[in-house]
């Protein structure tokens, strides 16, 4: 799995949640973008499905607690893509 494809998927879905706004930086805080825990959880599940990935519940829980930026999400998805 290529990092550019993962990054594009993360940006695309966040942009949809932000109603088309796509001018955010990879290191922008998800909370400052207006995403809450439920949004981030939906984002993780959607991206796993879109990219054909499966994470263990413990991994998803860890990600939900530690994901602060789009870059964090991309990094997590790259990690589980290596399993």
Q: State pLDDT tens for residues 8-57.
A: 999 999 999 898 888 889 999 999 999 998 998 888 889 889 889 888 88
Please count the structural domains in the chain: 1
Alpha-carbon distance 5 to 69, whole Å?
Answer: 17
SS3 per residue for 37-71: HHHHHHHHHHHHHHHCCCCCHHHHHHHHHHCCEHH
pTM of the entire structure?
Answer: 0.82
Separation of alpha carbons 67 and 48, rounded Å? 15
Q: How far apart are CA 70 and CA 27, in angstroms?
A: 6
Residue 30 DSSP class: T
Nearest to 20 by CA among 32, 28, 11, 31: 11
Domain of residue 57 covers 3-81
The CATH number linked to 10 is: 1.10.1200.10
């Amino acid at each position: 799995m290529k990092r550019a494809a993962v990054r594009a998927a993360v940006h695309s879905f966040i942009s949809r949640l932000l109603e088309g706004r796509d001018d955010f930086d990879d290191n922008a805080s998800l909370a400052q973008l207006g995403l809450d825990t439920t949004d981030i959880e939906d984002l993780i599940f959607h991206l796993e499905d879109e990219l054909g990935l499966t994470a263990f519940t413990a991994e998803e829980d860890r990600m939900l607690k530690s994901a602060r930026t789009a870059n964090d999400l991309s990094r997590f998805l790259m990690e589980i893509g290596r399993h």
